[in-house]
Structure 1
């Protein structure tokens, strides 16, 4: 992981936009990040696939690979049943895959901390904040970051032959409407009951306050962070450029 960061394969820093609310306070208080399940993501088109047909050879290989220890007669009967009702078999496989995916925890980050659309959409019109994480300070948390690809159609994925690629083929593809997000995802399984994963406090290097965050809230969050083990964290305030549609950030 650290070598991949040094070689530029993985990002050295990841950012997370947040509104100013109790759930964000909890990140500082619990030193943990929430990992929603795919059905909890804000895009109902997320983690979808294009259904495809399975060849008899693929069905046979899949049955044999996933039923080790069964007798030859049982395997032949299972293959016969699957090929006799291919629609039902595909439906069963897709339901199984969907159940697996829906139990994965997905935490979203971005490589861009000054995206005006992200500040508007995810921080309640610049009233929230953006958390900056140093990936090398907590490689266990961030392994393995998936850089999201953006496409006009659902990805094509064959669970019978590509099950090892489920994360890259299904979880790392979104509609190209979201391309501005430059999203990087971290996926965890299994998830604890509260869906929260602890992180090393040293990994949180910066907190950027939105332009519209009130001064008293900036002070409150700084106090909250320092009280909970983030005395090393740098805090900055967004400033609107007088000459262009852009933000700069000054230490506060």
Structure 2
């Protein structure tokens, strides 16, 4: 079966490269969403694309909110007094630190719109030895609620900090153009860690070219016992191109 049959706006794919982890994910119907520091690209979620204007009223408002959070017993007047004693750089650093904490605590799930990219299989499925999980996002809108298409850029271009949630989204979904072939969509969660999905959302498990028979058998057993309408596929090399075709088990 040609892999183009698996494409469409309602489908997303997650490549998994650690057998122990993806077996647990299958059993528990939960995916792990890493934090910023756990991502493989050091320029991922790169907060330096944000520009903080030291004369911005937004900075003062966000700094006020952050200090009030840190010092809940202080009155508004006391917090304003603290702000008056802070330099512009200190105000900016307060807001930057808060934003960085937000980025570090959030969960960032990387998906692709295609299950047939050889680079993805090599990089994220342990050199074709593991699996790709295929989801129908319409079967679990809550889990896939905050999904954002990654924006690929040739160079770093700063944008002004606005204090809105879109700052977080833009930082979390801007990557170097060298990654564009991944065709990535990100699912963003407020906290990193495992997040449960509805079992009906997982509709395909695709085994890599080098996936061991024992791994396939173990997955088949779990899928048979835990999932109702899950389809299993194996990859085979395409005959006339450097690519893969998918065949139903």
TM-score normalised by structure 1 residue count: 0.83
Counterpart of 1:7 in structure 2 is: none
CA contact (8 A) 2:152 2:180 kept: yes
| Residues paired across the two proteins, number | 234
Match of 1:235 in 2: 232
Q: Is the 8 A contact 1:144 1:186 kept in 2?
A: yes
Indicate the residue corresponding to 1:175 in structure 2.
Answer: 176
Q: Which residue, 7, 22, 25 being the options, matches 2:23?
A: 25
Q: Given the alignment of the two structures, is residue 144 of structure 1 paired with residue 143 of structure 2, yes or no?
A: no
Query: What does residue 49 of structure 1 align with?
Result: 47
Equivalent position of 1:70 in the other structure: 76
User: For 1:95 and 1:63, how far apart are their aligned partners in 2?
Assistant: 10
- In the other structure, the counterpart of 1:11 is 9
Q: Using the alignment, how far apart are the partners of 1:151 and 1:109 within structure 2?
A: 19
Taking the aligned partners of 1:63 and 1:88, their CA distance within structure 2 comes to 9
Question: Which whole-Å deviations, capped at 9, do the CAs of 1:58-107 have from their partners, x for residues lacking one?
Answer: 3455557776x724x853x455434xx22222222111110111111111
What are structure 2's unaligned runs of at least 5 residues?
Answer: 1-7, 69-74
CA distance in 1, matches of 2:219, 2:181: 28
Task: Give 1:121 deviation, angstroms.
Answer: 1.2
Give the alignment of 1:1-252 within 5 angstroms.
Answer: 11-50=9-48, 52-58=51-57, 59-60=59-60, 62=62, 70-71=76-77, 75=80, 77-78=81-82, 80-82=84-86, 85-154=87-156, 156-159=158-161, 161-190=162-191, 195-227=193-225, 229-252=226-249
Which TM-score applies when normalising by structure 2?
0.84
Q: 1:57 to 1:236 in 2, by over 3 A?
A: closer
Cα 1:171–1:88 shift into 2, 3 Å: same
Q: Secondary structure at the match of 1:131?
A: strand
1:92-145 superposed Cα distances (whole Å, 9 cap, x missing partner): 211111011111111111101100111111112211111100001010100110
Mark the runs of 5 or more structure 1 residues left unpaired by the alignment.
1-9
**Whole-angstrom CA distance in 2 between matches of 1:39 and 1:74:** 32
Q: In the alignment, is the contact (CA less than 8 A) between 2:64 and 2:79 conserved in 1? A: no
Evaluate the alpha carbon distance shift between residue 53 and residue 132 of structure 1 in structure 2; reply closer, same or farther with a 3 A threshold.
closer
Change over 3 Å in CA distance of 1:146–1:155 after alignment to 2: farther
Per-residue CA deviation, residues 142-170 of structure 1 (Å, 9 max, x unaligned), is 011011111233452444x2432123221
Distance 1:123 1:74 in 2: 51
Structure 2: how far apart are the matches of 1:129 and 1:46? 24
RMSD of Structure 2 on Structure 1 (CA)? 2.4
